Amino acid sequence: MSLQKKNGVLNRLFMGLVFLFLYAPIFLLIVFSFNAGNSSVVWKGFSLHWYVELFQDRLIMQSIYTTLLVSLLATAIATVAGTFASIGFYAMRRRWRDPLMTVNSIPMMNADIVTGVSLCLLFVAVFGLWNEFAENYRLTFSLFGAVYRITFPRLTLGFGTLLIAHISFNIPYVILSVGPKLRQMDKNLVDAAQDLGCTWFQAFWKVILPEIMPGIVSGALIAFTMSVDDFVISYFTAGSATSTLAMAIYGMTKKRVSPEINAVSTLLFVTVLALLVIVNVREARAEKAAAAQRFD
Partner 1 sequence: MKKNKRSLLAVPYVVWMALFVVAPIIMVVVYAFSTASGGFTLDNFTRMGTYTVIFTRSFKLALIATAVCLLIGYPLSYIMAREGPRFQRVGMMLIMLPMWVNFLLRTYSWMSILEKNGLINQFFSAIGLFDLINAVFGTNIEYFHMIGTQGAVVLGMVYNYLPFMILPIYSVIVKLDNSLLEAARDLGANSTAVFRKVIFPLSLPGILSGVTMVFVPSVSTFAISRLLGGGTQMLLGDLIEQQFLGGAYNPHLGSAIALVMMLIVIVCMWVMNHFGEGEEQAVML
Whole-angstrom distance, CA of residue 209 vs CA of residue 182: 10
- Measure the CA angle with vertex 260, ends 256 and 264; round to 5°: 125
Candidates 20, 52, 59, 91: give the one binding partner 1 (CB under 8 A).
91
**Residue type at 28 in one-letter notation:** L
Site membership for partner 1, residue 81 (CB under 8 A): yes
Of residues 232-291, those binding partner 1 (CB under 8 A): 232, 235-236, 245-246, 249-250, 253, 257, 261-262, 265, 268-269, 272-273, 276, 280, 284
Least distance from partner 1 to the Cβ atom of residue 109, Å: 6
Q: Return the bridge partners of 140, or none.
A: 149
Segment near partner 1 (CB under 8 A), from 53-61, 97-105, 138-146, 148-156? 97-105
Stretch that binds partner 1, among 46-54, 56-64, 91-99, 134-142 (CB under 8 A): 91-99
Minimal distance in Å, beta carbon 166 to partner 1?
11
- Among 12-20, 46-54, 140-148, 209-217, the segment contacting partner 1 (CB under 8 A): 12-20
CB of 140 to partner 1, least distance (A): 31
Shortest Cβ distance from residue 282 to partner 1 (Å)?
Answer: 13
Q: C-beta of 206: minimal distance to partner 1 in Å?
A: 15
What is the C-alpha separation between 162 and 232, in angstroms, rounded? Answer: 11
β-partners of residue 146 are: 143
Does position 88 interact with partner 1 (CB under 8 A)? The reply is yes
Burial class of residue 118 (count of CB atoms within 10 Å of its CB; 0-12, 13-18, 19+): middle
Considering only 54-62, 105-113, 133-141, 143-151, which stretch makes contact with partner 1 by CB under 8 A?
Answer: 105-113
* Measured distance CA(279)–CA(281) in Å, rounded: 6
Contact stretch for partner 1 (CB under 8 A) within 45-53, 56-64, 146-154, 168-176: 168-176
Q: In terms of Cα–Cα distance, which of 120, 85, 124 is closest to 103?
A: 85
- 242 CB-side CA count, 13 A: 21
Secondary structure element (H or E) that encloses residue 241, with its range = none
CA distance linking residue 260 with residue 256, whole number of Å:
11
DSSP state, residue 142: E
Choice from 60, 64, 163, 176 touching partner 1 (CB under 8 A): 176
Q: Is 68 in the site for partner 1 (CB under 8 A)?
A: no
How far apart CA 224 and CA 216 sit, in angstroms, is: 12
* # residues near partner 1 by CB under 8 A: 84
32 touches partner 1 by CB under 8 A? yes
Please, which residue, 152 or 250, has the CB nearer to partner 1?
250
Task: Please select the residue that binds partner 1; options are 20, 23, 206, 282, rule is CB under 8 A.
Answer: 23
Task: Say how far apart CA 56 and CA 62 lie, in whole Å.
Answer: 11
Residues 6+ apart with CB under 8 A from 270: none
Residue 96 makes contact with partner 1 by CB under 8 A = yes
Task: Give the closest residue to 167 by CA, choosing from 72, 245, 277, 68.
Answer: 72
Distance CA 189, CA 238 (A): 45
**Within positions 115 to 154, which residues make up the interface with partner 1, using CB under 8 A?**
115, 117-122, 124-125
Q: Shortest distance, CB of residue 58 to partner 1, whole angstroms?
A: 20
Q: Which of residues 192-231 bind partner 1 (CB under 8 A)?
A: 200, 225, 229, 231
